[in-house]
Amino acid sequence: MMMSSWMSWKFVVMFFATLVSSGFCQDCSSDPCLENAPCVNATLGYYCQCPVAPVPSQPEKENVYSGQNCNESFIGVAGCNINYYDSEGNITSPGYPNDYPNRQDCYSHLKIADATQITLILEEFDLESPLKDTLIFGKGPQSMK
């Protein structure tokens, strides 16, 4: 029996201009972040640095917290998901430069303080054929469902 291999990597990009227009423009004084996440005041409002945390009963899984106040979460494969808050840097697939693991959904949430746009440059991009893998970009956690 032949096993098919696939990987889905989803990028969630949160723009703070959207958060401000949605009425989220406030500061960290009310301690709005859940899951003991640090709150960061920014020009366009606050944001929470949501954690990625192990699932105690399932060591191969992790909770990936997201949303404005870390009030959304989903279970992902351990070591495959990141919440990214730096204004510049590199994001790589798990195991890079080696092949990434089979049968995984990986999420990278990008929250950049005061960003109204984010530029992603793909320096290397190689997907398994025939089209078993995907790379999806979305505008917030709800766009990935």
More confident residue, 60 or 144: 60
Range of the domain at 129: 7-144
Judged on CB neighbours under 10 Å (0-12, 13-18, 19+), 90 is exposed
How far is residue 98's CA from residue 2's CA, in Å, rounded to a whole number? 22
Tell me how far apart the alpha carbons of residues 7 and 94 are, in angstroms, rounded to a whole number: 11
pLDDT digits (tens, 9 = 90+) for 14-51: 444 444 434 445 789 999 999 999 999 888 788 899 99
Q: Answer yes or no: is 2 within a domain.
A: no
- Tell if the pTM clears 0.85, that is, is over it: no
Rounded CA gap, 11 and 113, in Å? 17
Query: What does the DSSP 8-state code read for residue 100?
Result: P
Confirm whether 126 is domain-assigned. yes
Is 22 exposed, middle or buried (CB count within 10 Å of its CB: 0-12, 13-18, 19+)?
A: exposed
- Domain presence at residue 1: no
The per-residue pLDDT of the chain, averaged, comes to: 76
Q: List alpha helices for the chain, DSSP H.
A: 16-21
pLDDT confidence of residue 37: 96
Helix (H) or strand (E) segment spanning residue 51: none
* Residue 81 covered by a domain: yes
Q: Is residue 24 part of a domain?
A: yes
53-75 tens-digit pLDDT: 999 999 999 998 988 899 988 88
Residue with tokens 């054929």: 129
User: Tell me, what's the pLDDT at 10?
Assistant: 52
Number of domains in the chain: 1
